[in-house]
Amino acid sequence: MRYSFSTIIFFSAFAVMIASCSMERVLRKAEVTIHSIHQVDCKGLAIIAGTAVDTVGQRIVDLEISIYDADTHIFIARTSANKNSTYELTNIPPGKYTIFAWMLGYKKAMLNNFVIQPNTVNIIDFSMTPIPVDVKEVI
């Protein structure tokens, strides 16, 4: 996979701010890959960041990523992937969340009951499956 200079800078910024790795794991759940969770000083809050690509590795720009409280279903935060197909959600309080990624023309990705610990950077990548969009002619 080829990374652009700005993508490398994005992830290098995380490498600089990571104080120590609390746990290293790779978890693959269909279209969601959790690469690692790193311990940082975020004043008790957390960061969720990652990339958005399709199943063949092509970048997806403007993919919407939303998080909701897993128990109450209350909306917490939303962002979208930038022109480099990276995204970042900051100042996320500790808790258990449902994370959605969606965009027209792709199957919705969902990660249920994801636990966010305080002072962590959570790297979550989305590999989205294309679906046909039925567009009818308007007369």
Long-range contacts of 93-98 (CB under 8 A, 24+ apart): 93/44, 93/45, 93/46, 94/44, 94/45, 94/46, 94/118, 95/69, 95/70, 96/69, 96/70, 96/71, 97/67, 97/68, 97/69, 97/70, 98/67, 98/68, 98/69, 98/70, 98/73
Q: Provide the residue ranges of all domains of the chain, joining segments of one domain with +.
A: 5-13+22-128
Superfamily in which the 5-13+22-128 domain is placed by CATH: Immunoglobulins (2.60.40.10)
pLDDT digits (tens, 9 = 90+) for 17-41: 433 333 333 444 446 777 667 677 7
Query: Could you report the per-residue pLDDT of 42-85, keeping only the tens digit for each?
Result: 788 999 999 999 988 999 999 999 999 999 999 999 999 999 99
